[in-house]
Amino acid sequence: MSTATRKKAPAKAGAAAPAAPAALIKGAELLIRCLERQGVRLVFAYPGGQAIELHQALSKSTIRVVLPRHEQGGAFAADGFARISGQVGVCMATSGPGATNLLTGIADAYMDSIPLVVITGQVPQRLIGKNAFQETDIIGMTRPIIKHSFLVLDAADLPSVVAEAFHLAASGRPGPVMIDIPKDVQQKLVPADLQARISLRAYTVPAAASAAEVETVRAAITASQRPCVLAGGGIISGNATAELRTFAESYNLPVTTTLMGVGAFPDSHPLSLKWLGMHGTYYANFAANECDLLINIGARFDDRVTGNVQNFATTAKIIHIDIDPSEINKNKHADIGIVCDAKDILRKLNHHPVRQEYAAWHRQIAEWKRKFPLTYKKTKLIQPQYVVETIYELTKGQAVIVPGVGQHQMWAAQYYKFERPRQFLTSGGLGSMGFGTPAAMGAKLACPDALVINIDGDGSFQMNIQELGTIHTENIGVKMVILNNQHLGMVAQWEDRFYGSNRGNTVLKTGDRPYPEFVQIAKGYHIPGREVWTRAEVRDAIRDMLETDGPFLLDVHVEYQEHVLPMIPPGGTYKNIIME
């Protein structure tokens, strides 16, 4: 479309000059222009019968299109893109199976509050409700796992819908937003008018904490002897890590994070307790439970954090700060509940810090840290923890780690030391196996200069193994390390602990040689790789991986030997913590 035919940018709003009418373009083209205007530079999109118009329009756009090999991979890639960059991730699919394949990715983004705009083709309006070929009510199917959704019935609404969708996805508590567009709407010729009329009159974003609220928090801290900060993913999505650090340092407060909050506070910081919960550190769990004031900022008292929530932090006064009003008192009663932006309240608290020594408390924490550090047994085998530690060492702590879901995910979180936000991208709330590879792919595309390492399990990796195709064709330089134990290790661990080691379909191996041969598979996609059989080779192999340009797959045979520890049994309390 040439500039001559484009409607000029409105010089004066309201002054409807009798200019030449805007040129007519297809709804699909209008949509893509709206995406361009939102600053979208990359979408993960899979074509199909009801998405063909979208792809035709994309082919004439400046937006880069990455073709995943499965729509779920596309959704996770958009999610990884959003997690590392903080920008809205965009993925697209056709109607029916294309749309349903996105569901896990949407649910994942919803649980972890990740901003996504998901665009799906839909059958033409005249076929909706007729069980047409590849028709699904995707709006209905996604309703419980989405922040908001739009079914577009008029192509002229697209500019408003896109503007609203991006605003909703990114603002307040971020989340996925869906735009479902029937094919006739994509094909309809409409004026190329990008003017958006947004009418989200009921949607407000809480922002500022009041002076009284700030004072309440300060007073509670002043009155406490054993304070503890619990930082969640809200610190990262709220870009409040610097403020959190100042807060902790100036008030002299120990800080633990949730799994989603990993990176919100530097692991190496003397006030850091690392993360808490089912597989969190002994000292984080003890500090959070034995404190007399728990300051939760941007976390939601998930059951994997609290165990039995009634018995969690029973001696503590609870301050809960969250941007989502519905989180206050949802899982855990808050003595002080404040709905606001994390950055705002931390900044205000940092104006006049109240610094106390809490000497006995810090001594107690130091003792827990000394007595019960994260540790594992060294044997002749390759310990998965050792692999993670070696990756940490050889990457000088600079890599972005994107695990799948399972034991390896916990070890990655435990034994890599994270210093900055958006350095550990994980499927926390939904716990979606298969997350790692595509999310790492999306992260690497968003930040090509970052060293992105997908630490995965053999079970998890196989759930989106087809994305090796995307990695090859788009030449995405992600490093993949498979901690291959030939088991669904996390479930096997539960079987060992709670089901007398009776194996219920958790063994993946068959025969003597580990299966499948991941390096052979990678080779099939023209991706180099290497197998590691002995502890002595680990370091060299990782170095090999890091020194190879572009993508690389490392298949490390760790055997099923280890449990993730510590472990608080589900529904238990910190006092039930299992250390060996």
Active-site position among 111, 260, 441, 490: 490
Q: Of 20, 62, 363, 579, which lies in the binding site for other proteins, with binding defined by CB under 8 A?
A: 62
**Is 134 annotated as catalytic?**
yes
579 touches other proteins (CB under 8 A): no
Closest to other proteins by CB, 61 vs 239, is 61
d(CA 452, CA 122): 35
Task: Give whichever of 167 and 408 is closer to other proteins, judged by the CB atom.
Answer: 167
Q: Pick the closer one to other proteins by CB: 334 or 483.
A: 334
Stretch that binds other proteins, among 79-87, 166-174, 309-317, 540-548 (CB under 8 A): 166-174
- Amino acid at site 190: V
* Tokens standing for residue 433: 């196996």
**How many residues can be counted in the chain?**
580
Asked if 148 touches other proteins (CB under 8 A), the answer is yes
* Catalytic residue list contains 183: yes
Among 15, 202, 211, 212, contact with other proteins (rule: CB under 8 A): 202
CA distance 532 to 542: 9
Quick one: which H or E segment has residue 122?
Answer: strand 116-122
Candidates 101, 84, 82; CA nearest to 92 is 101
DSSP state of 301: -
DSSP string, 504-547: SS-B---SSS-SS-HHHHHHHTT--EEEE-SHHHHHHHHHHHHH
253 in Cβ contact with 319 (< 8 Å): no
Q: Which residue in the set 131, 199, 314, 502 belongs to the binding site for other proteins (CB under 8 A)? A: 199
Taking the complex as a whole, how short is the minimal distance between the CB of residue 126 and other proteins, in angstroms? 17
Please tell me the count of residues contacting other proteins according to CB under 8 A.
37
Q: Which of 151, 214, 262, 430 binds other proteins (CB under 8 A)?
A: 151
Q: Which is nearer to other proteins, 45 or 196 (CB)?
A: 196
Is the CB of 127 or the CB of 276 nearer to other proteins? 127
201 near other proteins, rule: CB under 8 A: yes
What separation in angstroms does the CA of 107 have from each of 397, 425, 543? Answer: 30, 16, 36
Query: In this structure, are strands 176-182 and 452-457 parallel, antiparallel, or unpaired?
Result: unpaired
Footprint of other proteins on 303-362 (CB under 8 A): 324-326, 328-330
| Among 77, 196, 481, 567, contact with other proteins (rule: CB under 8 A) | 196
**DSSP line for 408-458:** HHHHHHHHSPP-STTSB----SS--TT-HHHHHHHHHHH-TTS-EEEEEEH
Q: Which residue in 71, 290, 531, 562 is the catalytic one?
A: 71
Q: Which residues contact 186 (CB under 8 A, 6 or more apart)?
A: 26, 27, 28, 31, 50, 53, 54, 121, 155
Closest CB 310 distance from other proteins, rounded Å: 13
Q: Which residues are at the interface with other proteins (CB under 8 A)?
A: 1, 3, 6, 9-10, 36-38, 61-62, 139-140, 143-144, 147-148, 151, 163, 166-168, 194-196, 198-204, 324-326, 328-330
User: Catalytic residue numbers?
Assistant: 71, 133-134, 183, 490
